[in-house]
Chains A and B, each alone.
Chain A
Amino acid sequence: MNDRIRQAIQDHARLPVDVATLADDQDLYTAGMTSHASVNVMLALEDAFDIEFPDRMLKRSVFESIAAISAALTELQPELAA
């Protein structure tokens, strides 16, 4: 799952660094993801995993790291973690 998350970040977060260099718990915003870019990451994740993030999840802390995104996706679709 994390590979697919990394792909969405690579394609849409417009980070100044290669996503491969980021640890799972590294702060994506501190790494340079803007709020504008984060919206595109959210859209890409909804498409890639065929899910919809509810409003309560659409906030900075849920998208601040690969680990946080992975936890949110697992909550929405427990079978993804399997």
Chain B
Amino acid sequence: MTIEVDRDQALLASVRTVAREIAGPNADDVDRSARFPVETIDALREERALSAFVPAELGGGGVSFETLAQCCFELGHHCAASAMVFAMHQIQVVTIVRHLDSGSWFERYLGELAAEQRLIASVTSEVGTGGDMGRSIAAVTPADDGGSSFEKQAPTVSYGEYADDLFTTLRRSPEAEPGDQVVALTRRGQNELKATGTWDVLGMRGTCSPGYVVRSTFPGEQVLGTPFSRVAAESMVPVSHILWSHLWLGIAEDAFDRARAFARAAAKRKPGEPLPVAQRLSRVMSELSLLRAEVDSALRYFLVASAEPGRERLSTLAAALRFNNLKIAASEHAADICRGALDVSGIMGFKNDTPFSVGRHLRDAMSGALMIANERIHETNAGLLLIAKEV
């Protein structure tokens, strides 16, 4: 137990250092140039952070999920794009670890991921499905050599060009219905990506997420044994929403800190005088408190439900509502808090080159509402609310 705690503390300390000393100083350039945060990801590799959640017996760090979430928060505080790359990679790792069959190809793969610090990107969205991750058009198709292949039209693949491996949702076979999905993990050398667009966007510019046509040929053992419907409910959806929320909270915390620094500077210039900006800051603070509480409560719910035998609770509609609400609340509040911080600091926050700048924070936070569109989640919730009992 002590060893595990030490591991967790050690990882958190090193990720904090990377966030502060590398991610933060490069954040403006990553944003301005819409470039991949290569120095931050390399530094995380040095710290073996990409395999932090891989069990120790497979060569990974064996840290807790809670620590991983905290790492997303720390990175989000300094560079949202770096945090998002880290979070998305960890979503795939956590999902594989939670649905690992012993002796499978995936077990060997995790060992290699740890040894080589391989980076995984996900190919879950698809042109023609209307943003519904629970349906696929592309299918695992038998290839001539006895293996498998697929071709998928992906509207966005975050850091696809920089990833070693791809985590792709597909129909189980060419005959399968759209909802009968599996996940394939395919490696560099097996994948061919052809960009179909550009990535010049408002925020999260460093995630470098244009569309691609993804083609892959791979052995059948690289398909995860557990169906995607179960993987999604028990792991991928809650884990995504929790890790994203932590990094959005990190963005909001930093915007708040900057607004507070501005208010303190203003107070020092005119000691004793009424300070309207401090009252505005207080309003932002109350919203930030709510966001902190929501993010933490969803994490606790997930940890408790994950520890229950069979993780039954995670596959209930009530749990789906719980994590959908986290996603909606966190993405909206984080952007509202950044906007509130701008109201505090005014022109000094609006300018991109002051210690109080929050333009990047606001733009990055606004991406949250689009990552699995909140409107679509509301539509799903509308159905679930009619049938779930205790919400």
The chain A residues found within 8 Å of chain B, CB to CB, are 16, 29-36, 39-40, 42-43, 46, 52-56, 58-61
Q: Once the chains bind, are B315 and A59 in contact (CB under 8 Å)?
A: yes
CA distance A61 to B315 in the complex (A): 9
CA distance A33 to B178 in the complex (A): 10
Could you say which residues of chain A place their CB within 8 Å of the CB of B176?
30
User: Which residues 348-391 of B sit at the A interface, judged by CB distance below 8 A?
Assistant: 380, 383-384, 386-390
Which listed residue (A16, A31, A39, A56) contacts B384, Cβ 8 A? Answer: A39
Q: Once the chains bind, are B388 and A30 in contact (CB under 8 Å)?
A: no
Could you say which residues of chain B place their CB within 8 Å of the CB of A43?
386-387
Known contacts A30-B180, A55-B316: does B134 contact A35 (CB below 8 Å)?
Answer: yes
Q: Say how far A68's CB is from chain B's closest CB, in angstroms.
A: 13
What are 5 A-B residue pairs whose CB atoms fall within 8 Å in the complex? A30-B177, A43-B386, A53-B387, A58-B389, A61-B315
New A-B pairs, 8, CB < 8 Å, besides A34-B135, A56-B312: A29-B179, A31-B177, A35-B134, A40-B383, A55-B318, A55-B388, A58-B387, A58-B388
Q: Say how far A33's CB is from chain B's closest CB, in angstroms.
A: 7
The chain B residues found within 8 Å of chain A, CB to CB, are 134-135, 176-180, 229-230, 233, 312-313, 315-318, 380, 383-384, 386-390
Which listed residue (B179, B312, B317, B390) contacts A34, Cβ 8 A? Answer: B179
Q: Once the chains bind, are A58 and B177 in contact (CB under 8 Å)?
A: no
Closest residue of chain A to B315 (Cβ to Cβ) is A59
Closest residue of chain A to B320 (Cβ to Cβ) is A35
Could you say which residues of chain B place their CB within 8 Å of the CB of A16?
177
Q: Once the chains bind, are B389 and A60 in contact (CB under 8 Å)?
A: no
Which listed residue (A29, A33, A35, A39) contacts B386, Cβ 8 A? Answer: A39
Q: Say how far B378's CB is from chain A's closest CB, in angstroms.
A: 13
CA distance A36 to B387 in the complex (A): 11
Which listed residue (B177, B312, B380, B386) contacts A59, Cβ 8 A? Answer: B312
Q: Say how far B118's CB is from chain A's closest CB, in angstroms.
A: 32
Could you say which residues of chain A place their CB within 8 Å of the CB of B380?
35-36
Q: Once the chains bind, are A32 and B177 in contact (CB under 8 Å)?
A: yes
Known contacts A34-B135, A35-B134: does B179 contact A58 (CB below 8 Å)?
Answer: no
Could you say which residues of chain A place their CB within 8 Å of the CB of B134?
34-35
CA distance A39 to B385 in the complex (A): 10
